[in-house]
Amino acid sequence: MQKVNIILVGFGRVGRAFYELLKEKYDYCRERYGLFLELRGIIRKSGAVLLSGTRKMVSEAEAGKEKSELSGWVQTFSLVDLLEEFKSGVLVDCTPSDLNTGEPGFSLMKTALSSGWHVVTASKGALVVHPSELAAEARQHQVALKASGATAAALPTLDVGLHSLAGAEILAIEGILNGTTNYILTRMSEGLSFSRALMEASEKGIAEPNPVQDIEGWDTAAKMIIIANRVLGTEIKLSEARVNGINGLTEEIMAKAARLGKTIKLIGRCSRETPEAPWKVEVGLALLNPDHPLAAVDGSNKGIIFYTDCMGYIVLAGGKSDPRGAAAALIKDIISIYWRDF
C-alpha cells in the first residue's frame, strides 16, 4: 500500500472532472493497485485550497455531509509552499494550453520536476514549446513526466507507441486526434452545415468555448508533435508543421466526397520519405476509402495508426473526447507511475 500526494493545478472543466473522478475511483485504486490517491491541494489562477486528502472527502461525501473545503480559496499559498509541505508526489497540470509560450504549464511543471515531483499533464503548450527542457529536468531529478491527457486523452497513444510497440521500428504515425473536428465532419457528412455542426458540438460540451485551435488544425498538430517527439525521438517544432484545418469546408464538398464513396477526415500524420529523410508533421483534410482503418472513426471518437517494421500496422480507435475522458487519462498516468505489476 502506498500513499500518493496529489496537487492539482487548474480547476476548470478538466480539473473539476479530475477532482470528481478521483473521489469516484479512490476505493478502486486502493483495492486494485494498493494506491491511496490523496488530493492535497488545488491551485487555480484565482487562488488555492489546501485539502485534507481524497479519503476524507470520500467519507464525507458518503455520509452526505461533504465538507466545503473548496469554498476557502485563498491567495496566500503558492505551488512552492505545497510542494515543500508534502515533500513528494504528483503535480497534475490542467491549465490552459498556450501553444506559443507554453505558459503557465512550463513554469509550473519545471518547478514541480525540479522539486522531485512527478508531473502528469493535460495541457499541450509546454510540451510543444519546451519539450527537451522538461524532459531533461525530469531525467535529472529521476521523476516521470507523463502526457496521456495532452495526447488524445482517453485514446491510448503514448503508452502504445512507447511501451506496447517497444522493439518495433515505427515507420509512420497517422491519426484523427481531435474529437471536436471529427464530430463536426461526421455531422456534416449527415447533411448539417459547418456552423450548425459546430453549434451542436458546443451545445454537447464537445467543443471548447474557443474552438479555433481545433478548427484550424493546430490542436491536432500539437498532439502529433508531442507523440512524435516522445515516441520517435524527434525534435519537431510547431512552426515546422504543415497545418490545414476544416475551415472552408462546405456541404457541397462533403456531398461530392459521398458521391465518390469516400469519407473526409482531418488527419494528422508524421512520416518521412526515406529512412534518412527528416520526419515531417502534416495536418489536413484527407479523402479516405471506406476500407481505410480511420474511415469509420465517427463522432467525437479519435483514432491512431502506428505503421511498424515488424508488427504490421496497429490501429486504436475510440476514447471519449470530454473532460471526464481527459481526467481518466490523468488518473491512468498516475497509476502507471506507481503501480508495478510484476
Binding stretches for ligand NAP (CB under 6 A): 9-15, 43-46, 94-97, 104, 122-124, 149, 153, 208, 322-323, 326
**DSSP letter at 150?**
G
Count CA atoms closer than 13 A to 138's CA, side-chain side.
19
Task: In angstroms, give the least distance from the CB of 271 to ligand NAP.
Answer: 25
**80 and 74 Cβ atoms separated by less than 8 Å:** no
| DSSP state letters, 91-107 | EEE-----TTT-TTHHH
Residue 272, helix vs strand vs coil: coil
User: Distance between CA atoms of 146 and 13, rounded to whole angstroms?
Assistant: 20
Task: In angstroms, give the least distance from the CB of 300 to ligand NAP.
Answer: 10
Residue nearest ligand NAP, Cβ-based:
12
**50 and 42 Cβ atoms separated by less than 8 Å:** no
Residue 325: all three cell numbers together: 475522458
- Which of residues 10 and 175 has its CB atom nearest to ligand NAP in the complex? 10
Active-site residue identified among 23, 223, 302, 320: 223
Nearest to 133 by CA among 160, 158, 159, 111: 111
User: Distance between CA atoms of 157 and 175, rounded to whole angstroms?
Assistant: 10
Task: In angstroms, give the least distance from the CB of 123 to ligand NAP.
Answer: 3
**307 and 313 Cβ atoms separated by less than 8 Å:** yes
Task: In angstroms, give the least distance from the CB of 147 to ligand NAP.
Answer: 10
Q: The cell 483495492 sits on which residue?
A: 31
Q: Could you give the C-alpha distances from 90 to 10, 38, 41, 157, 271, in angstroms and in order? A: 14, 10, 11, 21, 34
Task: In angstroms, give the least distance from the CB of 159 to ligand NAP.
Answer: 16
- Which of residues 229 and 263 has its CB atom nearest to ligand NAP in the complex? 229
User: Distance between CA atoms of 30 and 2, rounded to whole angstroms?
Assistant: 9
- Which of residues 46 and 274 has its CB atom nearest to ligand NAP in the complex? 46
- Answer positive or negative: Cα dihedral of 327, 329, 332, 338: negative
Task: In angstroms, give the least distance from the CB of 320 to ligand NAP.
Answer: 9
Q: Could you give the C-alpha distances from 142 to 115, 118, 125, 147, 332, in angstroms and in order? A: 11, 9, 22, 16, 20
Kind of pairing, strands 35-44 and 2-9? parallel
Q: Is 280 a catalytic residue?
A: no
Give me the active site residues, please. Answer: 223
